[in-house]
Structure 1
Amino acid sequence: MPRFENLIAAIDGSGPTEQMVHTLLSLPAFAQCHVTLLHAVPSQTSAEEMRAAWQKGQELLAQTLQTFPPRPGLKISTQLVEGDPKVVVLQVAESLPNPLIVMGSRGRNRIMAILQNSVSQYVFQLASCPMLLVKDDAYVKYPSHVMVALNNSPAAQAAFATALDLISGIQGAQIFLASVQLDADNPGRDEALDRAIDILKNRQIGHQVLTAVGDPATEIVRLAEESKADLLVMGSPDRRPTIARSIPDLDRLLGRSISDYVRVHIGCPVLMVRSVQDSD
């Protein structure tokens, strides 16, 4: 089965999200992908308000759908659902095989996102599938230069594999391998980096190695900005036990998660790849 089988675009009227979907559909990796344009209408206090909100949602989806002209192989549908947008996005993702969620993000910090009931923050916490976040002020570009935050964790390995699939068939594409060491005095051998370089050489994929020493979260953001990466792909492990998958990860909410810091501060779109095998 293709890695990118179902693309779920959370449509809220923000331009960057729609631009990102158009960009993804221009990539060979998404040639067989089914696109769901999803809009959730929160419950209203009166029937009249509900009818108005529902009509507005219908118009938004219709306008968005018109931006996708028919073409061979394009499979696209719309879903208008009543309910809390945070919950609706997760429910739709769980109902489809191999989903990728694409949605906008205002880049709020953890506490502000919680207080303002951020949809993207909530979905980021609970989604078990990959999630591509596009900040409202992001400049969406064709992802010919993709940066991967690399280490020995299963989540990072999954991110590297996803990046390989993403650039498959893109002429002249390059992968930037970002490796951050915590201690300059004891750097150690980065086996994950060595393996990734070997794979890229064997596949004749252009690449650059970007190294840094310091805090991984801040260094990943810096390397992405300095390299002018079009897209960052990184692992975002799910550390909760199976029984607790329906509640937010408090460490990520209140602590200093690498993936959460990057989500807030990165300038380019970021694709978070989930793993349940380790933590960040």
Structure 2
Amino acid sequence: MPRFENIIAAIDGSGPTEQMLHTLLSLPAFAQCHVTLLHAVPSQTSAEEMRAAWQKGQELLAKTLQSFPAQPGVKITTQLVEGDPKVVVLQVAESLPDPLIVMGSRGRNRLMAILQNSVSQYVFQLASCPMLLVKDDAYVKYPSHVMVALNNSPAAQAAFATALDLVAGIPGAQIFLASVQLDADAQARDETLDRAIATLKSHQIGHRVLTAVGDPGTEIVRLAEESKADLLVMGSPDRRPSIARSIPDLDRLLGRSVSDYVRVHIGCPVLMVRSAQD
């Protein structure tokens, strides 16, 4: 049974997002799923402009849909909605069970993303479901080498479980376990890493252990680049209190967020996973 029953692909005409979607649908983990090609049309100042924007959206979705060949078990539909794109994506995600959001990202830094009203940054902050970000300049490859940023947090454990599902059935697939320590004197191996290795061996999945000492965000990006990982899967815990779930966490955006640093600087696609325990 696929881990993700529903994929929501935010279609804006960017090539990497569509390439990533084609790649996902070639994986055994997504052999049966429902894909929603979603495009939001912002409100226009006149009826004529609205008609033109609506027609452009229809043409974009139709062209994107035609690029996907018929695939048994996979259902692909289109959805054209009027409204703020970042709000529309979240609303559609909340209406579907077990969703995965796939969308492009220009990789703006945190402050610039806020000032320029970045759709991907807004959705990344507020979405409770996993989100796969593909930067405009990312080179999308078949994910036979998946790196997981591993620690003992619930979100990281959820990321590891997701990586297992992603590589299931892929011949010769490997999972790179990236463990970053803040202190050089810290224990080189921990129980979390040992359990992950044991799990991979029991599933007969190849692995590599990548270790580093230093700033987690910087080191995760470096390890991903040096190992030539095709995809990074990492936990992104939601630190907002429940009373503030309707607004972005500006303290987190402006502060030192590992997941946000990785989102901006990573070269490969990155799948951010959250855990209900966070």
TM range, smaller chain: over 0.9
1:188 Cα deviation from its structure 2 partner: 5.7
Structure 1 residue aligned with 2:94: 94
Q: Is the 8 A contact 1:238 1:276 kept in 2?
A: no
Please give the alpha-carbon distance, in whole angstroms, between the structure 1 residues aligned to 2:164 and 2:186. 30
SS at match of 1:107: coil
1:256 Cα deviation from its structure 2 partner: 1.1
Q: Which moved more, 1:264-273 or 1:182-191?
A: 182-191
Which structure 2 residue ranges, 5 or more long, are not aligned?
none
Please give the alpha-carbon distance, in whole angstroms, between the structure 1 residues aligned to 2:3 and 2:177. 21
Please give the alpha-carbon distance, in whole angstroms, between the structure 1 residues aligned to 2:30 and 2:209. 27
Deviations 1:71-122 (A, max 9, x none): 2222000000000000000000000000000000000000001111100000
Q: Is the 8 A contact 2:233 2:272 kept in 1?
A: yes
Q: Which moved more, 1:236-245 or 1:113-122?
A: 236-245
SS at match of 1:275: coil
Please give the alpha-carbon distance, in whole angstroms, between the structure 2 residues aligned to 1:251 and 1:33. 36
Deviations 1:101-148 (A, max 9, x none): 000000000000111110000000100000000000000000000000
Please give the alpha-carbon distance, in whole angstroms, between the structure 2 residues aligned to 1:33 and 1:273. 19
Q: Is the 8 A contact 1:37 1:79 kept in 2?
A: yes
Q: Which moved more, 1:267-276 or 1:204-213?
A: 267-276
Q: Is the 8 A contact 1:251 1:257 kept in 2?
A: no
SS at match of 2:195: helix
1:274 Cα deviation from its structure 2 partner: 1.1
Deviations 1:188-246 (A, max 9, x none): 64211010000011111100000000110100000000000000000000011222211
SS at match of 1:188: coil
1:276 Cα deviation from its structure 2 partner: 4.9
Please give the alpha-carbon distance, in whole angstroms, between the structure 1 residues aligned to 2:221 and 2:276. 24
Please give the alpha-carbon distance, in whole angstroms, between the structure 2 residues aligned to 1:198 and 1:158. 16
Q: Is the 8 A contact 2:41 2:53 kept in 1?
A: yes
Please give the alpha-carbon distance, in whole angstroms, between the structure 2 residues aligned to 1:74 and 1:239. 35
Structure 1 residue aligned with 2:268: 268
1:171 Cα deviation from its structure 2 partner: 0.7
SS at match of 2:93: helix
Please give the alpha-carbon distance, in whole angstroms, between the structure 2 residues aligned to 1:9 and 1:74. 14
Deviations 1:237-259 (A, max 9, x none): 00112222111112321101000
Structure 2 residue aligned with 1:42: 42
Q: Which moved more, 1:264-273 or 1:247-256?
A: 247-256
TM-score (norm 2): 0.98
Deviations 1:17-57 (A, max 9, x none): 00000000000000111000000000000000000000000
Q: Is the 8 A contact 1:150 1:178 kept in 2?
A: yes
SS at match of 2:274: strand
1:185 Cα deviation from its structure 2 partner: 1.6
Q: Is the 8 A contact 2:2 2:31 kept in 1?
A: no
Identity %: 91
Q: Which moved more, 1:15-24 or 1:247-256?
A: 247-256
1:275 Cα deviation from its structure 2 partner: 2.5
Structure 1 residue aligned with 2:170: 170
Structure 1 residue aligned with 2:217: 217
Q: Is the 8 A contact 1:237 1:276 kept in 2?
A: no
